[in-house]
Amino acid sequence: EASHFELITRVTAIKKRMGDRLFIPGHHYQKDEVIQFADATGDSLQLAQVAAKQYQAEFIVFCGVHFMAETADILATPHQKVILPDMRAGCSMADMANINQTERGWEKLKQLFGDTILPVTYVNSTAAIKAFVGRNGGATVTSSNASKMVEWAFEQKDRLFFLPDQHLGRNTAFDLGIPLTQMAVWDPIREKLEYEGDLDQVKVILWKGHCSVHMNFRVDHIEQIRREDPSISIIVHPECTREVVGLADDAGSTKYIIDTIAQAEKGSKWAIGTEMNLVNRLKNDYPDLHIRSLNPTMCPCLTMNRIDLPHLAWILESLERNEIHNQITVDKDIAYDAKRALDKMLSLSS
Ligand code: 13P
Ligand code: SF4
């Protein structure tokens, strides 16, 4: 088995040899051993934007999870191949909404609300869900533009069907002034709408999905940390629950968290509620700050972590031999409709 150092040397050499033919986007949650080779790093919005601009690259080796590679393929030109170094790098949240469940839920909601409802989906969803949204006039959102996109959606229709993360949907709508009593939850397993109060008043229907990583940051962690140190600032990702976001000092996408920490006062103390690799990277990058994870046991995204240096080296060496493994290709019809939903978002995001 090759040593870590040997793998670094091999990947460095291949990147040099392949030059512009190769482009490697890396999500902020990726391991350092992978991120060091990324040509662009970013949150899901930035990576979608960057992927749309890589005209010259023949191969886009996506260091992130499956739905991100699908998005890159949808936005890529036909000659480009998008490759995922390990096919097991999925997203448990995206897996919580499949297209059949979605079509069935949509039928029920149309019966209840007629034509007053617009679907929107977090980019953390399959290409088929994005296509469903595109076909029905909606758009994708990411955690960094969710607010803007939800406002846009309310200019189109009176109600929203927000897939698949109930927490990002609830936090975004709440921040825009929509009370919790005007939000309902669609349970795709029981095929039931859960709500309190008056159905006519419901403005947001949240798909009952969540991120298992961000569910690990809990109210008791916030209480414990505040007891230990009332002067600490707590910042979390909006995939955390409403209670956690409500109690934290601040919340935002991975990019927002990075920008906030970059501007933090020397010596200030921070507890961060997001994926482990990013928290550790910030800790290393800002030794003048006191940074820790909001959950002391740390929270890795196991599927993001499937992409590692051995997989990256293996996939790049295969490419050099003209062997294509793990190519992500989205069916043409699905890609067409999904692109409508993505383009709407990209045209509204700077
Ligand atoms: P962002 O990259 O939009 O912050 O989302 C975090 C995430 O969970 C990606 O899977
Ligand atoms: Fe999916 Fe959560 Fe992992 Fe992001 S952190 S890829 S939402 S499971």
Q: What's the rounded Cα separation, in Å, for the pair 120 and 161?
A: 6
Q: Give the pLDDT confidence score for residue 39 in this predicted structure.
A: 96
Write out the binding residues for [4Fe-4S] cluster: 91, 211, 301
Note the pLDDT tens digit of each residue in 143-193: 999 999 999 999 999 999 999 999 999 999 999 999 999 999 999 999 999
For the beta sheet containing 117-122, the strands, ordered from the edge strand earlier in sequence to the opposite edge, are 139-141, 117-122, 159-163, 204-207, 183-187, 192-194
pLDDT exceeds cutoff 90 at 80: yes
pLDDT band per the 50, 70, 90 thresholds, residue 259: very high
Q: What's the rounded Cα separation, in Å, for the pair 314 and 109?
A: 46
CA of 43 to the centre of ligand 1 (A): 6
CA of 72 to the centre of ligand 1 (A): 15
- Cβ atoms within 10 Å of 18's Cβ, excluding its own: 18
CA of 253 to the centre of ligand 1 (A): 7
Mean pLDDT over 16-25 rounds to 96
Q: What's the rounded Cα separation, in Å, for the pair 116 and 40?
A: 40
Please name which ligand lies nearest the alpha carbon of 304: 2
Superfamily designation of domain 214-293: NadA-like (3.40.50.10800)
Q: Give the pLDDT confidence score for residue 53 in this predicted structure.
A: 87
The percent of residues above 70 in pLDDT, for the chain, comes to 100
Q: What's the rounded Cα separation, in Å, for the pair 330 and 95?
A: 16
Beta bridge partners of 40: 25
Q: Give the pLDDT confidence score for residue 214 in this predicted structure.
A: 98
Q: Is residue 52 within 8 Å of 339, Cβ to Cβ?
A: no
Mean pLDDT of the chain: 96
- Cβ atoms within 10 Å of 309's Cβ, excluding its own: 20
Correct CATH for 94-210 of 1.10.10.10, 3.40.50.10800, 3.40.50.10420, 3.20.20.140: 3.40.50.10800
Pocket of ligand 2 contains residue 216 by CB under 6 Å: no
Note the pLDDT tens digit of each residue in 331-341: 999 999 999 99
Q: Whose CA is nearest to atom 3 of ligand 2?
A: 301
Residue appearing with tokens 């509204």: 348
Q: What's the rounded Cα separation, in Å, for the pair 143 and 74?
A: 20
Q: Is residue 85 within 8 Å of 319, Cβ to Cβ?
A: no
Q: Give the pLDDT confidence score for residue 292 in this predicted structure.
A: 97
pTM, two decimals, is: 0.97
Domains 4-90+304-331 and 214-293 are alike in CATH topology: yes
Q: Which atom of ligand 2 is nearest to the CA of 94?
A: 1
Q: Give the pLDDT confidence score for residue 332 in this predicted structure.
A: 97
CA of 320 to the centre of ligand 1 (A): 31
Q: Give the pLDDT confidence score for residue 171 in this predicted structure.
A: 98
Q: Give the pLDDT confidence score for residue 2 in this predicted structure.
A: 85
Domain boundaries, the chain: 4-90+304-331, 94-210, 214-293
Write out the binding residues: 27, 44, 91, 122-124, 143, 211, 237-239, 254, 301
Name, in order, each residue with C-beta under 8 angstroms of 200's C-beta and a sequence gap of 6 or more. Answer: none
Q: Give the pLDDT confidence score for residue 244 in this predicted structure.
A: 98
Q: Is residue 183 within 8 Å of 170, Cβ to Cβ?
A: yes
Closest by CA position to 342, among listed 72, 61, 156, 84: 72
Q: Give the pLDDT confidence score for residue 54 in this predicted structure.
A: 82
Q: Give the pLDDT confidence score for residue 56 in this predicted structure.
A: 84
Which fold, 4-90+304-331? Answer: Rossmann fold (3.40.50)
Q: Give the pLDDT confidence score for residue 51 in this predicted structure.
A: 80
Q: Is residue 60 within 8 Å of 80, Cβ to Cβ?
A: yes
Give the range among 51-60, 123-132, 148-157 with minimum mean pLDDT: 51-60
pLDDT exceeds cutoff 90 at 270: yes
For 30, list phi and psi in degrees, rounded to 5: -75, 155
Which amino acid is located at 108 in the chain?
A: K
Pocket of ligand 1 contains residue 44 by CB under 6 Å: yes
